[in-house]
Chain A
Amino acid sequence: MSNTITPKISLRSVEKSFGDRTVLNGVDLDVSSSEVIAFIGSSGSGKSTLLRCVNLLESIDDGAILLDGVDISLPGLDPDPIRRRIGMVFQNFNLFPHMNVLRNITLAPRKVLGLSASESEERGRDLLRRLGLQDRAEAYPDQLSGGQQQRVAIARSLAMEPEVMLLDEITSALDPELVGEVLDVVRELKGNGMTMLLATHEMAFAREIADRVCFLHQGQVLECAPPNELFVSPKNERTQQFLQRVIDSGRL
């Protein structure tokens, strides 16, 4: 990695435990602007926790997280202005069920960015059009398919015009035939140069979209390499075992 350009996001020996269970055990990683990183690893390896730490939804115990070279993990820092710059999409969408699609999308731009009702609505409708949901603006989340809900969740996040997107297994709760429509959106984001960190079980997709794939095991990044290296000739023994299991279960 170049030393002269500040990485968009840096993780410096990040540690996090819940009680006496260590979940992140010294994670180091530099992510440059417009880079797409896919985290893979078995269930419980700490992928979600890592993404939640970057979004300051969890506080870290040790180490540092830098955004554009600025430490955002300092205790006592107001997390709200930072979260504005980092969007997050969750496995279970987390849409607000009492608001219709458009309100879901325009809430934060209005209350946080101070946009007027018409400005935020225009932004919301633009996004919905981009994601192919223009005719569902007035629907409520419970009236949408899973794939549609996840696309709304992505739109809601994009409405804040974040610099980085964190995607936590955004297709795991979806039926196979709905996965494609959500992945299309991620492809488009990559095309627009969005910096993304994503946790995924979709190996084929990780392989296609990621600039680097990072294998997480027991709270550590054991190997981080371009997909063609990591999937074809993994160096670490654990990575080999994990990929072998994935291949055996027919998921690659």
Chain B
Amino acid sequence: MNETVPGSSNRPGTVASSRLARRRFERRQKRRSTLIALTSTLVVIGLLVTLIPQTPGWYKVKRSFFNGEVFSETFPRLVDAFVKDVQIFLWCAPCILVWGMMLALCRSVRTPALFPLRLFAAAYTDIFRGVPVILTILLIGFGVPGLGMDRPWNSPYLWGSVALVLTYSSYVAEVFRAGIESVHESQRAGARSLGLSSGQTLRFVVIPQAVRRVVPPLMNDLVSLQKDVALVSLIGPIEILRQAGIDKSKFANFTPYLGAAIIFLAITIPETRFVDHLMARERRRTSGTAIR
């Protein structure tokens, strides 16, 4: 038995020593892959750092994109402006999730009487998925305030957000629908055979499984929403992208854009990692042995 344990150097036949050997083997395996990853990363970075400065245009690029002075001057302002982006994101995201789920449910209804609802939802997703976000923002952001309504109703924040919600809910609806359809028919049969109504089956059995399955693609959409919020600046609000543009003109330097990029990353990367972590925890909780 001990022969099958790789790297074992202990007396054969004792269970304890076999377990020990296995652990040692796994630890060594892990250490080795970490080492490989680390070395290859260092080599790549080293090459970039030594090679790029030797290019002819490097000096100019460095001055206009990596200017420390401009960076420290503009960065705090950018952070302030980014608060707007986060705000828009925070009120859009829940609306998108709720409205997207409603659209997905409309498309998944099976009662023939509700066919018009299905048709509406299908047409809606086709239209808003097919038009670039930026056009929807421009059309709604300039079109609706043109109706000449009074104060809160002519705000570019409002109509920019509405445009984002309209577009992104169509993306999210498709994601939810795929999730709902991926739940096997036998799950519905199991639930219905217990006497649960079709609504209860959807609510307690189908949707919870559907949502768990679509969290990764959903997260994708939310991260791109976080980025597309910057497009709202096209109809007026001074958020981070616009602030960076203003500072770029003021200093005749591109460094503010770099600052803006860093700020975006500082929020989108943790967002994604956090969800990965939640998913992994859920998987550990409900599943059997993870397959390597």
Interface residues of A (CB under 8 A from B): 52, 55, 57, 79-81, 83-84, 86-88, 90, 92, 94-98, 107-108, 111-112, 140, 142-143, 153, 156-157, 160
Contact = CB atoms under 8 A, between A and B. Distances in A.
A153 B189 CA distance: 13
Nearest to B193: A88
13 contacts: A55-B193, A83-B192, A90-B190, A94-B186, A95-B190, A98-B208, A108-B191, A111-B196, A111-B200, A112-B196, A143-B286, A156-B194, A160-B195
A23 to B, nearest CB: 17
Interface residues of B, number: 21
Contact of B287 (A83, A95, A142, A157): A142
Contacts of B200: 111-112
Contacts of A87: 193-194
B204 interface: yes
Nearest to B206: A96
Contacts of A160: 194-195
Contacts of A88: 193
Contacts of A156: 194
Interface of B: 186-187, 189-197, 200, 204-205, 208-209, 212, 285-288
Given A88-B193, A98-B212, A108-B191, 6 more contacts: A57-B189, A83-B194, A83-B195, A107-B196, A108-B195, A111-B196
A108 B286 contact: no
A157 B197 CA distance: 16
Nearest to B184: A94
Given A81-B195, A88-B193, A108-B195, A143 B288 contact: yes
A9 to B, nearest CB: 16
Given A96-B190, A111-B200, A143 B287 contact: yes
A79 B197 CA distance: 9
A108 B195 CA distance: 7
A94 B187 contact: yes
B194 A112 contact: yes
A94 B189 CA distance: 8
B281 to A, nearest CB: 13
A207 B288 CA distance: 36
A112 B194 CA distance: 8
Given A83-B195, A140-B285, A94 B190 contact: yes
Given A92-B186, A98-B212, A140 B195 contact: no
A13 B203 CA distance: 37
A95 B209 CA distance: 12
Contacts of A94: 186-187, 189-190
A178 to B, nearest CB: 16
A82 B252 CA distance: 76
A107 B286 CA distance: 17
A155 B192 CA distance: 16
B186 A97 contact: no
Contacts of A140: 285-287
B204 A111 contact: yes
A111 B190 CA distance: 15
A95 B194 CA distance: 11
B286 to A, nearest CB: 4
Contacts of B287: 140, 142-143
Contacts of A96: 187, 190-191, 205, 209
Nearest to B197: A80
A57 B196 CA distance: 12
In this complex, which of B189, B195, B205 has the most chain A Cβ atoms within 10 angstroms of its Cβ? B195
B286 A97 contact: yes
Contacts of B209: 96-98
Nearest to A79: B192
Contacts of B205: 96
Contacts of B189: 52, 57, 90, 94
Contact of B196 (A97, A98, A108): A108
